[in-house]
Amino acid sequence: MKMRAVLIPVCMLGCIGYAAGADFHFEGFADLRLIVPSTQGSYYYGDLGKTRYGYDDGKVAAELSDIVGEESVQIRPALTAVATGRVSTHYGPAVDLIEAYARYQPSSTTAWLWSVKAGAFFPPISLENDQIGWTSAWTITPSAINSWVGYELRTIGAEGTLEWRHAGGVLTMNGAVFGWNDPAGVLMADRGWSFDDRVSGLLEHERIPDAMAASLRRTPPIQTRLFSEIDNSPGWYAKLSWMQAGLGHVEVMHYDNNADPSAKTDGQFAWHTRFWDIGYRKQIGNLALLAQAMTGSTEIRPAPLRRNTTNFAAAYILAGLDIDPWRLAARFDAFRTHTLAATPSLQNEDGTAGTVSATWFATTWLQLTGEILVVDSMRPQRTLAGDPARATETQSQLLARVYF
């Protein structure tokens, strides 16, 4: 089914809401950046660097990176339609859609509150990326976990949420059924973890590393369409979270795209991707502590007796201090992948990363953020491009975010 079939219901709701005199709200931002990039080439150009910005010459660059806008329409008191789009000057389509969904949430006078959501949206995984356009309130660049979620996962289907509100806290249960994300996992297997605040648009194609193209005896660049349906089998996820004063917020989630790893269409395989995710957040005065860990696997079976499985795991801990008008943060990440195949794999990796960030909210419409990200990783696949297997990458950014 074409992607537009997912968006038609949201567009229809918007039209109905407009005709009925609904409440419209628009907000967004534009990012201006000064970048001191890594000297490892970025994966956007088919290289195996771990950061968004990486150039062989390492020259300082300035650019207008992204313009993100979100339109929400309250059609009825309980019914809202939301669409988030992006204008990009750096990579992919100039104009793309990030999310488009409708949510129904009736009011409740009891301890129970429920809602349903349908369309294309991010799964409820992140504790740090809770701002418009899958951005973080603490750093420019998300953790390895939430970078991966942003560029490779999207729920295109329906999700239900049930909350039980008690004097001692709130218990929340989420469950979803979705499709159109069968290739999810291919980037984890072929290029591993990375650190990037640019999420994939619903209409764009992602580039596979040129080193992988050489292994497949194909001429680069080669690309994959992440948001497509291959095996006509729906995936699912379920999540349970508990929030209580004094304890904090704890959540656990299981995700399974339920793809048939032997299914293939137009030269593209379905990757069976599944994982467990656990998160914790606690507020101590002005100090916020966040921690998250993920472990899972992704698999294809290109032939009856041939199986390729990549096990992956990552974790981070973040400490953030909010002292108006400043917000300071430090984060440590650890990540790894291990590929099981018929022959020894060059795609295994181990790495760590450290991030420090300082944000000044100059006015209600201007935010200035400075960030330094250092990633140290070992990935033998780099030797196929004539580079050392181990790389230490440093990316520094000064961002001016203008809200509108």
**Residue 15 half-sphere exposure toward CB, CA atoms < 13 A:** 6
Name the residue range of residue 138's domain. 4-403
DSSP state of 16: H
Residue 16: is its pLDDT beyond 60? no
Structurally, the chain folds into a number of domains equal to 1
Write out pLDDT tens, residues 131-163: 999 999 999 999 999 999 999 999 999 999 999
Write out pLDDT tens, residues 99-124: 999 999 999 989 999 999 999 999 99
Write out pLDDT tens, residues 311-355: 999 999 999 999 999 999 999 999 999 998 766 789 999 999 999
pLDDT value for 1: 45
pLDDT value for 219: 85
CA dist., res. 345 & res. 343, Å (int): 6
pLDDT value for 9: 45
Q: Considering the entire predicted model, what is its pTM? A: 0.94
pLDDT value for 56: 74
The answer to whether the Cα torsion of 209, 345, 188, 352 is positive or negative is negative
Mean pLDDT of the chain: 92
Buried b (16+ CB within 10 A) or exposed e, 37-50: bbbbbbbbbbbbbb
**In this structure, what CATH number is given to the domain that contains residue 223?**
2.40.160.10
pLDDT value for 14: 54
Count the Cβ atoms, other than its own, within 10 Å of residue 234. 16
